[in-house]
Amino acid sequence: MTSLFHTLNVSKQDMLSRLLDLDVVSNNLANVNTIGYKATRGNFQELLAAASQKNGAILSSTQALMQQGSLSTTGNFMDWAIQGEGFFAVRLEDGTTAYTRDGHFMLDANNTLVNGSGQPLVWNGTLPTGTTAVSVDSGGGVVALVNDEWQNVGTMQLTRFANPTGLSAFGQNLWLPNESSGAAQAGTPGQNGYGIVRSQTLEQSNVDLSQEMTRLMTLQRAFQMSTKVFQQTDTMINQAINLRKY
């Protein structure tokens, strides 16, 4: 009877793990067209009881996959993409610096260069009054279009981390550093291993649609199998209980 209850517990834990992994895959699929999005995967940890008895597995963490996404030309001067290592830095409302690969920027009502969520880009320089467009060269030089003339207005740096896969997801396609990722390290694009910046270009999501769909089908079948094990084990326990009554 004890072994049956153990099997019931393992199958229950397996169903829960499959559901959590399904959430990860679903989130990847939902962001297949999100600019600069990085796919995530679930990391599972096996549960052990006394005498090395297996008790199933739990989702211990999720991990970002930082492979380069494909680059798409847009023709918009304020669409910037990073080719290689690095992140754009943006300032949150509380003053915290967050990091992103989404380079779709625009000018707000205060003539500030911001991302799609309104967070200002962290860079060195100011935009003149009357700026109608902003561009950047591969080395981080920023120019502004004022009265139909391009003017040098400053520079920008990229930021990288010792372990970018350890970054914490903040939401809105933003990342925050932690002990696992290491401290932020700013540098000049195109130098010392930092990537280059390409204007009029956006980095697409790195989600592999075919891989995620395959994973989705595998999870569905595994969940069905765990459900069947749970149901059959529950039936066997009920039969065993009924036999002991007689």
Determine the angle formed by the axes of helices 209-244 and 2-30, rounding to 10 degrees.
160
The 10 Å Cβ neighbour count of residue 197 is 27
Residue 8 pLDDT: 60
For the chain, the straight-line distance linking the first and the last C-alpha, in angstroms and rounded, comes to 16
Residue 219 pLDDT: 83
Q: At residue 38, what is the residue type?
A: K
- Return the residue matching tokens 């006394």: 50
The 10 Å Cβ neighbour count of residue 31 is 18
Residue 241 pLDDT: 67
Residue 25 pLDDT: 92
Residue 34 pLDDT: 95
Residue 148 pLDDT: 92
Q: Helix (H, G, I), strand (E, B), or coil: what is residue 5? A: helix
* Residue spans of the chain under pLDDT 70: 1-9, 11, 44-57, 59, 230, 234, 237, 239-246
Q: Where are the domains of the chain?
A: 2-66+207-244, 71-203
Q: pTM (2 decimals)?
A: 0.81
